Homo-oligomer: A and B are copies of this chain.
Amino acid sequence: MTRISRFAFSADELSIVWEDSSESRLQAIWLRDHCRMPSSRNPDNGQRLLNITDIPANIEIADVTLRDDLLQVEFSPGGHLSEFDPEWLYRNCYDRNAPHDDRSETGKFLWHGLSFAQGVPRCAHETCANEAQARLAALRAVRDYGFVVIDDVPRESGRLLDVIALFGYVRETNYGRFFDVRTQVDPNNLAYTNLGLGCHFDNPYRDPVPGLQLLHCLESSTEGGESILQDGFLAAKRLRDENPEHFALLSRHWINFRFSDADADLRARAPLIEVNDRDEVIKLRFNNRSIDTILLPPELIESYYPAYRHLAEILERDELQIVFRLQPGQLILFDNTRVLHARKAYSAAGTRHLQGAYSDLDGLYSSLRKLEGAAA
């Protein structure tokens, strides 16, 4: 509990000296807009009950009193009275709290090929389904590392959807609620051949892109076909460290992506590296197969291609990749905005059969926060 040592106010601003000697200066409009009283906020779901236009543009602080450990602020015109818990103000005021972006690189554990010498994050399906603590650990792995391996998912068609039901919802697409990844006759996608696939994200041609992907191994008796994962956030960091101008080119200039077959014509325009307003990486798209005609201004083509090649080269560095053989019954759940996946080519003899599905990150993060709240 952080107490207020002293405070002062003018019409425009409230100044607080906290007991740790730090200071806050909070503007009248922000204070009124963040009133926690039941007339301003629904106490059950936090929904704000007033519009910004309900607050007079010339709002001022008329009086401030500290009473029973609550800071009472009276506003003018209108005479609205707000009571603030000092602890809430300390933890939420804009001059001492930076905004958090759960999806950004900040706070994540960035990893490379040697990071998981003690083993990758994993959990047995049954445990994950029945024990909240295990489920919390699995979801935290997706948040922090971008992936988790789930063992012993029953080797039956469609059972990967049971895993999605543990935290969120299926993102159905033109590929179905789930889809089979195996060698097909007349494949509509290179994924359905036995060719190797370089590190890529799925569906960059979709907006919104599916934030989560699952791959569930049903059969694996071919030579080859190993799975590869790579941390795109580390790759982006390497690019920025090695050449900030390359990073800036790929994050500032957008390109078009496209996939077109008999049933679908999907197009999106987006950057290869997406950053937020604080230049933190929040999302990558990379898939050489799906980049549509690159239409940048002529003066940019000469500088964009070396930047694009540089990122592609980083994504081919063995030292950044983990390689493993997905065993029948194993499933990988990964963040399709951060973790790239690839597979090695495999033999025509034997069978390699995976099932894939998509989901969204919002449901996973919501479940994670509720589990954390329950565990706290």
Whether B252 lies near A27 (C-beta < 8 A) is no
User: Which chain B residues border A47 with CB–CB below 8 Å?
Assistant: 189-190, 259, 289-290
Q: In the complex, are the beta carbons of B288 and A48 less than 8 A apart?
A: yes
Q: Report yes or no: B172 in contact with A288, Cβ–Cβ below 8 A.
A: no
Most buried by B among A209, A266, A277, A308: A277
Q: Does A118 lie at the interface of the complex (its beta carbon under 8 Å from any beta carbon of B)?
A: no
Interface string of A296-310 (1 = CB under 8 A from B): 111001100110110
Name the residue on B nearest A207 (C-beta). B362
Nearest CB to that of A24 among chain B residues? Answer: B298
Residues on B with beta carbons closer than 8 Å to the beta carbon of A228: none
Q: Is A219 an interface residue (CB 8 A)?
A: no
- Interface flag for A349 (CB, 8 Å): no
Cβ of A6 < 8 Å from any Cβ of B? no
Taken residue by residue from 271 to 292, chain A's Cβ proximity to chain B (1 for < 8 Å, 0 otherwise) reads as 1000011000000000011111
How many of A's residues come within 8 Å of B, CB to CB? 91
Residues of B within 8 Å of A289, CB to CB, are: 47-49
Q: Nearest-CB distance from A78 to chain B (Å)?
A: 16
Q: Which of B25, B173, B301, B360 contacts A27 (CB 8 A)?
A: B301
Residues of chain B within 8 A (CB-CB) of A99 are: 254-256, 269, 295-296
The CA of A184 and the CA of B260, in the complex, are separated in Å by 45
Q: Are the C-beta atoms of A298 and B25 separated by less than 8 Å?
A: yes
Q: CA of A87 to CA of B276 in the docked complex: distance in angstroms?
A: 39
CB-CB under 8 A for A362 and B268, given A53-B313, A295-B94 = yes
With CB as the reference atom, state the residue of chain B lying closest to A188: B45
A330 → chain B, closest Cβ, in Å?
26
Contact indicator A301/B30 (Cβ below 8 Å): yes
Stretch at the interface among A239-247, A321-329, A363-371: A363-371
Q: Is A112 an interface residue (CB 8 A)?
A: no
By a CB distance below 8 angstroms, the chain B residues around A46 are 258-260, 292
Does the CB pair A294–B360 fall under 8 Å?
no
A49–B193 Cα distance when bound, in Å, is 13
Known: A27-B301, A295-B97. A261 touches B373 (CB 8 A): no
Question: Counting CB contacts under 8 A, is A19 at the interface?
Answer: no
Is B27 within 8 A of A366, CB to CB?
Answer: no
Judged by a CB distance under 8 angstroms, whether A293 is at the interface is yes
Cβ contacts under 8 Å, A174 to chain B: 169, 363, 366
Contact yes or no, A305 B45, CB < 8 A: no
A309 x B267 contact (CB < 8 A): no
Determine the chain B residues whose CB is within 8 A of the CB of A259 once the complex forms.
45-47
Q: How far is the CA of A294 from the CA of B98 in the complex (A)?
A: 10
Complex Cα–Cα for A370 and B249 (A): 33
Asked if A206 CB lies within 8 Å of chain B CBs, one says yes
Q: With A48-B289, A277-B254 as known contacts, state yes or no: A207 contacts B170, CB within 8 Å.
A: no
Which residue in chain B gives the minimum CB-CB distance to A54? Answer: B288
Q: Show 17 A/B contacts (Cβ-Cβ < 8 Å), sorted by A.
A: A27-B302, A27-B305, A29-B301, A52-B308, A52-B309, A53-B312, A92-B295, A94-B296, A97-B293, A103-B269, A169-B173, A171-B171, A208-B211, A208-B362, A253-B277, A265-B369, A268-B362
Closest 4 CB pairs of A and B: A208-B208, A265-B369, A99-B295, A169-B172
